Structure 1
């Protein structure tokens, strides 16, 4: 559409219509002799209001606008759509991974009741300060290109072999603790239910924001298409 020579007159009219309010504001600012104010924000930073010349400089030429519609806008649309899909999946995943579902923990390292670290089923290692020395085995697993169960086994076996005094708790797909059980056993001060509710609320809030961005984007697209169609019907 944007590269079609026959569409240029209609697109030019839409361009003029879109920036008309901004040009009217610029004209009013100049007519009133408006002088931008310098203000201090609550955080102490200084900001200066935009002048009429700056507003005018922000308006692209028709050719630049047309170029943006062909290159930048499609990428922005794709970005909004991708963000919406991610937000939807985040809500679904959060709901699915409630406290009473099986955790992804496959190994826990401890010193009695003090947890030193743990390994996820994908091989990811989490350590606390007291268990930071185990990070070297994680680095070695990186160098070997290990992942999944092979990585879990490598890190677990390395810790067991080099630090026999460390208590090692191994799990598999059948006996891994639930998220609630893991939290209550090793992080008794952590409110797993409250944390879950917070994650749900955050995921839903993000989804609402992304849905609104997507809705506004679709409205803009529909508004442009309707306007252009109206011009073409009048021609």
Structure 2
């Protein structure tokens, strides 16, 4: 499938040229609206479609609520309950989780649909394979976490985030800088890079398998052409594994968001 968008290439000496990350950065869809481009490309289209799909699904699923739910209402309630109970309630806690369920639900399904777009023919582009999108999502969580912490604890939030309970005073000169770096610098970077790196790497692996299969079939001879069947099987296996990773990363990102929110609510760390 990806081979349709990334045809096999041959180098100057007839060798195989693998696809690169630049092949995923497609040109703007509407480049003529601004001299330097509009920024509205396939990635932005995927983001907008994903937001629309999530919103429309939950609006339709909740439109005619019944005591005995129909199929669509049942699916919507089950999806909502998954995030509400297994992430919100279990991580944040019984007393504090309810106000954060809408945020967690929106994050999970928005990221999930965006990731799965990388496995849908014609779209075949996970929006978070571009680092800017991952930074934006992690930045949203980071700002929420900071604001919540200061609203709950005031200036004492800085102490809670940088001075772990039970650490001997003599070690604080070492621990405090490490906690500042870990919580305020490394945390948003790892939160975003985990999502970006897995989406980019998985998509690139599938692209290489697809283009490699096409190259072997078209340019190989004898047993070399037969190896194309092996790369095809490997590509299918990696495709299925990538679907699993797309779901898992949506869950992990939302789970970490709940952990950060819970951390800004508690009195001690």
TM-score (norm 2): 0.31
| Structure showing greater relative contact order (alpha-carbon pairs closer than 8 Å, 6 or more residues apart) | 2
The structure in which a higher percent of residues are helix is 2
Larger CA Rg, structure 1 vs 2: 1
